[in-house]
Each structure stands twice: as structure tokens, then as C-alpha cells.
Structure 1
Amino acid sequence: MKKTLYVTDLDGTLLNTHDRVSDFSIRTINEMVDKGMIFTYATARSLVSASKVTEGLNANIPVIAYNGAFIFQPSTGEILSKEDFNDEERSYVKEILVKHGISPMVYAFVDGVEKVSWIPANENDGVKRYLSSRKGDKRFRSVEDIESLYSGDMFYFTCIGEKEELQPIYDIFSKDDRYRCTIQQELYRPEYWCEIMPALASKSHAIKKYKEMWGCDKVISFGDAINDIPMFEMSDECYAVENAVPELKKVANGIIASNENDGVAKWLLEHVSL
């Protein structure tokens, strides 16, 4: 019997406009997972951030975080798979960002502990808003200088700001096959996010790994944004929520109810036989 992997994006897809998974969706998905459904989520968020907004969802499901850079076991924090930069690639990111006057948030393992470093003196409104929404996150590490900012085993860079200042960064790294770079407007916000990660750090690549790990024959995915297109392209079936961008709807097999109306959970309940 063929095994199917069901994978969903979080923000704008499984999460509602309050950045939470509804009680209905949690109850529905957990009951189906208990019956044998192979389900996970793939997100640009960290494990810490994703675990907070998916509280109540089955924590024994390995999940895809940091846009595919990592596959984690959320109940333990164990890294099951990861993609990484080499030292030369890290140095080049630093060189380009410093040259263009961009002060990023740097995700790295510092002395073996996951940290998110930033320089408070360089905060803009977007960074301030991001930090205020994640108060109490023990990963945050404020630093005073560039050398401290770019320290540790760096694996992800997030630049938050105006599109005009971030576009040159995107143009450089999106054309370099050593990297994967995305730029998009923050959901429900005016600022843009430009994210730089290793070339193989993508939802689609991580899903392929996940599919092999679990011996699945088929992938069905759900999403809402342009960065979900590669995930859709590698899926056997793909569905865009009603609130998805037009570009994603064009490549989807179908349109389901919005994130606010439990589109993913309702589709699973109607179409998955266990």
C-alpha cells in the first residue's frame, strides 16, 4: 500500500491570522496522525518559534524548519538532517552585507548553542517588531560589533528592511549557485525580508529527504506564498489556501478554504482515508 506524506506551510496556511493553529485543526490533525497519517510542516521559522505557534500539535512528528535547512525532532530538539555553509561561503556573505551597509540577524551555533545575533544600534522598525513578538526567546544574543555578529557556526541570515535596500543583496545571492536567497514582504506588514541560506536549504529538498526517511511514495502539500512554488512543483498534488497569492494558485491542483477557515484540516478530513 502506498504511503503518502502530507506537508503544509505554517504562516498563512496552517496558522490563522492570530499566528496559531486552531483547536479544530489541532484536534483533527492529531487524531489523524494517531491513526497513521504521515504529516509534517515546512516553515521558514526556527524550531523554537514554530513550536510556540503550533503548541498542542503532535510533537513526535519530525518537522522542517529554517526553510529546509534543518529537519528536527521537536520533542527533543534533535537535528535529523541539516544543510550548511562552508567557511568561504560565510565570509562572502559577511563581505557583501558589510559592503552594502546591511545589518542582518545572524543565526548560528555559538559554542554549540543556537543563537540569533543582532546589533541593537542598527535596529529598524521591522527588527524591533520581530524582537518584540518573540520576547523571552533564549536564542537572542545582542552584540556590539561586526566581529561578534559574524561569529560561530553561521547557517542562516535574515535581513529586514525596505525593498529598495534589500533588492541589491537579493540580486547578488540569487545569481550565485552556492546560495539560496529569497525576498518577500512580511505577512500583514510593510517591511521586506531577504533571507540567505545554503543552496540546498529549501523546503522541496528537505521534503525529498523526509520522503526517503519515512519511505513515502507520494507527497501532497499545502501553501500560500510564492516561496511555496518549489514545494508545489515537487509534490504529486498541491493545494493553495483561498488566501494564497495568485502565482501559487496558478500552479496548484486546487484551491481549499483559507487559513482562517481551517482549510488544511478540512481537506485532510474529507480526503484522507485511514
Structure 2
Amino acid sequence: MKFKILCSDLDGTLLSNKNNVSDFTISEIQRIKNAIKIILVSARMPQSMTYLQRNLGIEDQPIICYNGALILDGKKELASTVMTIDHLDQIYDLSESLGIKLGLYHKDEWYVEDNTERVRKEIYHTQSTPIFRDTTVSITDWKNRHIGAHKIMLMGNKTATDMAFVQLEKQLGQELHIYRSNETLIELSPKSISKLSAIQILLTAGETLEDVIAFGDNYNDMEMLKHVGYGVAVGNAREELKQIAKSVTLQNTEDGVAYFIKQHIII
């Protein structure tokens, strides 16, 4: 197989454990990186991706953060799309009524209220540290600075997030992407962006989506895998993703991405 660009999701896809890539993955990326652009595509914030770039030896490549809401090339910002403060006010009111906590993200800023078990897991998984303060303080601060959220994470129990998901779809489904990360987490991002739209922004002269191979595992990877030249789902991916992928490789814990690269990408 011949491609000009390889794009990969991180959590549940390229990462063989919760917060890092394996030596096998590093060696395969090293093998092909001079012939193929390697672009990391994730819902993560920048600092939670750049350490992985360093480990893989691809710091010279751009990264797609927050499901496409922020695109960076080193320190240079190539594109940025945020949710409005009005959206944030609506989401805060809903979360308060259901006892759900919010994680607010803007560039490399991450704000939460409490050092809960869920937050501690996120710190470990993403190798980043939030600022702890009341959400109302964060909202007021952002209003004063005239900025919005690249991503909002809702954290609650299953009953509360079930109810929140239905309400969010009803109130904001036409304006925001609403992803169910798991039974207790919901992620929100601007509707006008996606991993696919971000990849399209990064295409240069002589490159098309047909030149792209992409790897993923979750709902927010579906559009990307469906429309690039070759979409590959890892073995642990959602069944809906496997149905639209052109190939299914091993699970992320079995280095599925690296295994596929070794078997199919010859330099």
C-alpha cells in the first residue's frame, strides 16, 4: 500500500496502554516517517499529544487536537474553532441540574472543580494537570477574556449522563458534536469541525483524501475512516466503525496500528 499521509487516533487506537505508545509502535513509525507524513488526531489537548510526538520522533509534524477544533504546527496555530459562551452557559445550567461536573478546555488550559477519581484518571492517562477552581469562576474569566471552549467534558454517573445526553441532543444537537466517550463521560465540540475537516485543512498541493490512511476506534473517528482513502479500525473498535472500515486490525493493546503498518506499508 502506498500513502502520503497516515493519521491516527490515540486513546484506544495508537496507544497500547492508557498513556503511551509501545516500542514496536515507535519502531514502525520511525521506519516510515521519512516517506509518509504522520499526523496524530485526537480529542486530547495539545500538551497531552506533544509528549507522544516526542516519543515517536515526529515533532516536525502538525497535530489535530480536540477532534479538529484546534490544529497546531509546533507553536503555530493553523486553525481554531470554539464553542460560544452561550453554549457554555446552557451546558452549565443542564449539568448543575443533574449533578454533573464539567471539564473545560481551551488550548492548553484545563479547568475542573474537584480532584475526583475521574479527574485523577484523566491526569494519569493524558499526562496533563488541570487548574482546580469553581466552574462559575472559569466561565466569568472566559467571558472577560472573550474566549470559548475547544472541548467540554461532562462527568457524572450513568443515570445522569444518560439524561444529559438526551437533553443535549435535543437542545444543542444541531450546533455541537455530542460524543459518548463511555457510560459516565460525554464530550462536546463545535459542530462545524471534525477530524476529517481538520485533515482536509492540512492537505497540501498534490494531496487528496485518497492519499490518506487513517486508524480509529470510536464514534468520533467514523467520518474520518469513511472518507479517507483507506480507513482501518482496531480490533477493539465500536462495531459501527468496523462496519464502515476497509480493514480491521488487532486491538490497540496488541499494537494493532503498528502490526498493520508492518504488514501493509512497504517503504
The TM-score by the shorter chain falls in which range? Answer: 0.7 to 0.9
| Aligned residues of 1:223 and 1:241 also touching (Cα < 8 A) | yes
One-letter code aligned to 1:8: S
Q: CA deviation at 1:100?
A: 3.2
Structure 2 match to 1:166: 161
Q: CA deviation at 1:213?
A: 7.5
Structure 2 match to 1:118: 112
Distance in 2 between residues matched to 1:132 and 1:25, nearest whole Å: 20
In structure 2, which of residues 227, 246, 258 is the aligned counterpart of residue 253 of structure 1?
246
State yes or no: 1:181 paired with 2:181: no
Normalised by the length of structure 2, the TM-score is 0.84
- Judging changes above 3 Å, is the alpha-carbon distance between structure 1 residues 79 and 124 closer, same or farther for their aligned structure 2 residues? same
| Aligned residues of 1:127 and 1:160 also touching (Cα < 8 A) | no
State yes or no: 1:51 paired with 2:50: yes
Gaps of 5+ in 2: none
Report SS of the residue matched to 2:77: strand
Distance in 2 between residues matched to 1:28 and 1:39, nearest whole Å: 11
| Aligned residues of 1:4 and 1:216 also touching (Cα < 8 A) | no
Identity of aligned residues (%): 25
In structure 2, which of residues 185, 191, 203 is the aligned counterpart of residue 199 of structure 1?
191
After superposition, the CA RMSD in angstroms is: 2.5
Structure 1 match to 2:235: 242
- Judging changes above 3 Å, is the alpha-carbon distance between structure 1 residues 130 and 18 closer, same or farther for their aligned structure 2 residues? closer
Structure 2 match to 1:101: 99
Structure 1 match to 2:263: 270
| Aligned residues of 2:234 and 2:248 also touching (Cα < 8 A) | yes
Q: How many residues align?
A: 256
Q: CA deviation at 1:134?
A: 5.8
Alignment of 1:25-40 (within 5 A): 25-34=25-34, 36-40=35-39
- Judging changes above 3 Å, is the alpha-carbon distance between structure 1 residues 66 and 239 closer, same or farther for their aligned structure 2 residues? same
* 1:155-211 C-alpha deviation (Å, 9 max, x unpaired): 1211122221112222233342111111131xxxxx621112211232122122223
One-letter code aligned to 1:267: F
In structure 1, which of residues 148, 156, 165 is the aligned counterpart of residue 137 of structure 2?
148
* 1:78-135 C-alpha deviation (Å, 9 max, x unpaired): 32112122343333333333343322011136xxxx3211112xx5432343245567
| Aligned residues of 1:220 and 1:238 also touching (Cα < 8 A) | yes
| Aligned residues of 1:181 and 1:197 also touching (Cα < 8 A) | yes
Gaps of 5+ in 1: 186-190
